[in-house]
């Protein structure tokens, strides 16, 4: 039986944390890029005097998703989440 050292666990933990940071930043950048693209298309619809309501709905949902993604670790988000978890789980 092979013995696993604490140093191996530390390396694995650091690797996992590094991967999670990259994935989190990648997701945030992707969300921001998509929200910005939606905003650009909304402005183009307004400039060309087309019906902007569908783009307005889509862009507002994308921006809302980005905002919710950014505030997920703030106390504003954590307190209701803890209450929800205590009540339902």
**Residue ranges per structural domain of the chain:** 6-88
Contact indicator for 44, 37 with CB cutoff of 8 Å: no
Q: What is the pLDDT of residue 57?
A: 85
What are the angstrom distances between the C-alpha of 44 and each of 26, 38, 56, 59, 71? Answer: 27, 10, 11, 12, 29
What are the angstrom distances between the C-alpha of 18 and each of 2, 7, 8? Answer: 26, 16, 15
Q: What is the pLDDT of residue 87?
A: 92
Q: What is the pLDDT of residue 2?
A: 55
Q: For 67-80, what is each residue's pLDDT tens digit?
A: 887 787 778 888 88
Q: For 32-63, what is each residue's pLDDT tens digit?
A: 888 888 888 888 888 888 887 887 888 888 88
Region at 5 (left for phi over 0; alpha for psi -120 to 50; beta for the rest) = beta
């Amino acid at each position: 039986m092979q013995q696993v050292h604490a140093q191996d666990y530390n390396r694995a933990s650091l690797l996992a944390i590094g991967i999670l940071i990259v994935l989190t930043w990648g997701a945030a950048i992707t969300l921001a890029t998509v929200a910005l693209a939606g905003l650009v298309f909304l402005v183009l619809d307004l400039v060309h005097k087309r019906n902007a309501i569908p783009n307005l709905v889509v862009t507002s949902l994308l921006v809302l998703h980005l905002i919710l993604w950014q505030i997920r670790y703030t106390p504003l988000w954590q307190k209701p989440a803890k209450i929800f978890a205590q009540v339902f789980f």
